[in-house]
Amino acid sequence: MVAPAGTSTAWPPSPPAVASGTTTPLVDGFGRVHRDLRISVTDRCNFRCTYCMPEDGLSWQPPESQLTAEELGRVARRFVESFGFTSIRLTGGEPTVRADLVDVVTRLASLPVDLALTTNGSRLTRLAPALADAGLRRVNVSLDSLRPDRFQTATRRDALPAVLDGIRAAVAAGLAPVKVNVVVTRGFNDDEVVDFARFGREEGVTVRFIEFMPLDADRRWARRSVVPAHEIVERIDTVFPLVTSARSSSPARVLRFADGIGEVGVIGSVTEPFCSSCDRVRLTSDGQLRSCLFATAETDLRAILRDPRTDLEAALDTAIRKTIAGKWAGHGISEVSFTRPTRSMSQIGG
């Protein structure tokens, strides 16, 4: 059994305060205030994770459809200045394959937000110092197996040493706390959750276990392949006793190791959905605003950005407000009426 909540340290540190007086909270029809922007900076990727992309056959969007660094900066500024957003996470596809990623980070780092990046880690050895210098605060690195053969099966790439080196490079560059994201799938890597817990303790990183969601391009997702968050916690707790942390907040449930050596997180998007407290909005690399990861409709902010006739700031603010006002209550994965979005995870931005 996991022990009840105890005291905990405040981490990550609060982002700098946003100038007050000019911002209006971005509230939807269910009273949820949105403060977290996920920006996909590219739909391209150098991996082909089985739960995300097909082995081949997924064509890239044309370069001219991708928002430029300047356009990304403009849109992000609206979210911060008009709506008081406090965190921005860059994702993809694989953000580190974007040639001007450091420029993107430099522009966004001028905003008073907690700026983070989700990456497969394969290019971090080279990039981590430059990203930290540009103002990036934290990284999450995705890693689904510590075994070379399984890693290759999961990603269709032979890159485990590069990812492990990338995690260490991120720690060395001070992109802390470094978090390692593990998508757990039944019969593939569910026997590695304790190994990952041990890895986190030894490497000084926080491992977060994520339930497999129906966003794989191959459309092989099935409920039986989801390993529920509670089962992941129980497996780890048997070997490394866990204590529920008072810091738990959606989406991750945070559990501290009872001996004080670090913590783990579990994200039960399927079995423990956190939709009722969701504060996220997403921008795809081609400039489409989505109110939910599973949204089936998008708002074209790129068209607004590139229309020379518009009053840009007012038009963007109106489009953003309208999109979020129409946000639904939740993804409804467990309902019979659930419809998958047309785009898969790498095309949306996880």
Q: Which residues bind to ligand SF4, rule: CB under 6 A? A: 45, 47-49, 52-53, 92-94, 120, 142, 345-346
Any bridge partners for residue 37, and if so which?
88, 281
Tell me if 280 sits within 8 A of 34, measured CB to CB.
yes
**Measured distance CA(79)–CA(87) in Å, rounded:** 10
92 binds ligand SAM (CB under 6 A): yes
Q: Kindly tell me which residue out of 132, 215, 264, 292 binds ligand SAM, with binding defined by CB under 6 A.
A: 215
User: Please, which residue, 162 or 312, has the CB nearer to ligand SF4?
Assistant: 162
- The strand pairing partners of 244, in sequence order, are 255
Residues of this chain, 311-350, that bind ligand SAM according to CB under 6 A:
345-346, 350
Residue 199: both structure tokens together: 């890895």
The binder of ligand SAM chosen from 50, 120, 122, 284 (CB under 6 A): 120
Q: Is 142 in the site for ligand SAM (CB under 6 A)?
A: yes
- Cα radius of gyration (the chain): 19
Contact string (CB under 6 A) for ligand SAM, positions 257-286, x = contact:
------------------------------
Instruction: Answer with the entry of ligand SAM, ligand SF4, none that 209 interacts with (C-beta below 5 to 8 A by kind).
Output: none
Tell the smallest beta-carbon distance from residue 253 to ligand SAM (Å): 16
- Asked whether 238 and 193 are in contact (CB, 8 A), the reply is no
Using CA atoms, how far residue 150 sits from 69, 158, 174, 179, 272, in Å, is: 36, 10, 29, 20, 27
Nearest distance from residue 284's CB to ligand SAM, in Å? 12
Q: Which is nearer to ligand SAM, 182 or 243 (CB)?
A: 182
> Count of alpha carbons within 13 Å of 41, Cβ hemisphere only?
27
Nearer to ligand SF4, 48 or 321 (CB): 48
Residue 50 as a binder of ligand SAM (CB under 6 A): the answer is no
Partner touching 212 among ligand SF4, ligand SAM, none, CB below 5 to 8 Å by kind: ligand SAM
How many other C-beta atoms can be found within 10 angstroms of the C-beta atom of residue 138? 20
The percent of the chain in helix, strand and coil, each rounded to the nearest 5, is 35, 20, 50
Q: Does 216 bind ligand SAM (CB under 6 A)?
A: yes
Q: How far apart are the C-alpha atoms of 39 and 291, rounded to whole Å?
A: 12
Tell me the closest approach of the beta carbon of residue 328 to ligand SAM, in angstroms: 20
Tokens of 8: 């905990």
Residue 234, both tokens: 């129980």
Residue of closest CB approach to ligand SAM: 350
Residue 175 touches which of ligand SF4, ligand SAM, none (Cβ within 5-8 Å per kind): none
Which residues neighbour 133 within 8 Å (Cβ) at sequence distance 6 or greater?
Answer: none
Count, residues near ligand SAM per rule CB under 6 A: 20
d(CA 258, CA 242): 5
213 binds ligand SAM (CB under 6 A): yes
Q: Least distance (Å) from ligand SF4 to the CB of residue 346?
A: 4
Tell me if 18 sits within 8 A of 76, measured CB to CB.
no
53 binds, among ligand SF4, ligand SAM, none (CB under 5 to 8 A by kind): ligand SF4
Contacts to ligand SAM by CB under 6 A: 45, 51-52, 91-92, 94, 118-120, 142, 181, 183, 210, 212-213, 215-216, 345-346, 350
